[in-house]
Structure 1
């Protein structure tokens, strides 16, 4: 009798696909559960839990109330309500008021604005009046000069009947100072801001509306490597704070309001 030929069994090289498919399925289920927990909806969570329980043969249903409160609020959805008509109108009125104040100050200080010593800008915070320290103080001093009185008195005359809060910020360049009166630029910038606040208060602006802040050299507007940059960095900024600040970028005055 002829011998029966035994056929060689070929090794199945695709068996790894079964394990890979199981792994991908479990990984997908894991991310579905994580997503469901991150923003819990009780109805959807119950359906998902029951489905997973039935799929894995446990039959155990879990309610959203069994989840820890911190997990239910892990990624809460926040929706900013759209402003209503009254809010929009209030914002419009406040912005108009800020523009009117900026125009008055710019007109009152027109000669200084033309010389580049004073800059008036309308910002998201309100109105910013930047005054170069060269007309306000002698070098290394916090006592106001005679020339500064006219400019600051004009601002006080415009603002004394107003109700907006005012924040005066003192700034210096990065050249260190150390003497008996001012151990550092912090003391110098704070003292200069306080001197301006005191003059505004003496000229009719209510004390409770005023705040003095010293920033030293931390917020330069020009390069401290140049003489011109250091000159501009030595300044005082008077911020007239809007009652309803808008989230907007700095907006220059309209061309017809600019002083040439």
Structure 2
């Protein structure tokens, strides 16, 4: 008579009971890694959806939401960099605004008469001076009154760290002389005269550059004397610092 095996008395379903515990463990492990992944790349809307879904799966809506309520969101590096860049740009804009107000106050009589314009834009602060205030017609030698005006501007810019571009502009009327064969030479010479005066006023030469544009960048039509006079000008451009690199500031 064959011996009765002990295994024959155990119901067949008991052999796979370990699968239930194993499945529970795998489910919990999966939920843990999903939560950790969600925390590492926090998106408020998607995190809320994930929390509610996990809450429904493990004991009621909102259960998962109650977990990690005190965890600080981990912000992406790009978000932190952009926030710092925007803050630096805001502070730089405020500094340039203060400089623009100081320049306007210094040149107020000429600003009121329309011979000087002080504006602030994305590049920085521009001081646009009508050429008639600075030079005789067709000349690049500064008038004595002009030297006093520019020395006051140079005094404000002496301790300022920003780089400065001095631009010379003319109208489209051709000039031909032994000194200035064209408006290109005249505009560059006028810009250089202003740069030299700024250097004499204590502005560091490394911060300065002189540019001549002739009649290529008009701000008014050259069809009448008023427009032509408007285009004959010198623009002093104080360049704002770039938030990304700190450019336009003297090292």
Fold similarity call, TM over 0.5: yes
Distance (whole Å) between structure 2 residues aligned to residue 244 and residue 102 of structure 1: 18
Cα offset, 1:154, TM superposition: 1.0
Q: Secondary structure at the match of 1:84?
A: helix
Contact 1:125-1:245 within 8 A present in 2 as well: no
Residues 1:240 and 2:219 are matched in the alignment: no
The structure with the greater share of residues assigned to helix is 2
What does residue range 144-159 of structure 1 map to in structure 2 within 5 Å? 144-159=142-157
Structure 1: distance between partners of 2:237 and 2:121: 9
- The change in CA–CA distance for 1:158 and 1:179 in structure 2 (over 3 A counts) is same
> What is the DSSP-based 3-state SS (H/G/I as helix, E as strand, rest coil) of the residue aligned with 2:166?
strand
Counterparts of 1:104-119 in structure 2 under 5 Å? 104-119=102-117
* Native 8 Å contact 2:175 2:183 kept in 1: yes
Aligned partner of residue 94 in structure 2, secondary structure: helix
Corresponding residue of 1:125: 123
Q: Using the alignment, how far apart are the partners of 1:132 and 1:203 within structure 2?
A: 21
- Counterpart-to-counterpart distance in 1, 2:142 and 2:111: 19
Alignment of structure 1 residues 1-260 onto 2, 5 Å: 83-244=81-242
Change (3 A) 1:243 1:107: same
Separation in structure 2 between the aligned mates of residue 88 and residue 224 of structure 1, nearest angstrom: 40
Q: Deviation per CA, 1:102-150, whole angstroms, max 9, x where unpaired?
A: 0000000000000000000001100000000001000000000012112
2:143, 2:206 → 1: CA distance? Answer: 25
Moved over 2 A (4+): 81-85
Q: 1:34-70: CA deviations, max 9, x gaps?
A: xxxxxxxxxxxxxxxxxxxxxxxxxxxxxxxxxxxxx
Shift of 1:245: 6.8
SS at match of 1:240: strand
Unaligned stretches of 5+ residues in structure 2: 1-77, 245-251
Count residues with an aligned counterpart: 166
Q: Return the alpha-carbon distance in structure 2 between the equivalents of residues 135 and 87 of structure 1.
A: 40
Q: Determine which structure has more spread, i.e. the larger CA radius of gyration.
A: 2
Contact 2:85 2:243 in 1 (8 A): no
> Is the CA contact 1:142–1:195 (under 8 Å) kept in the aligned structure 2?
yes
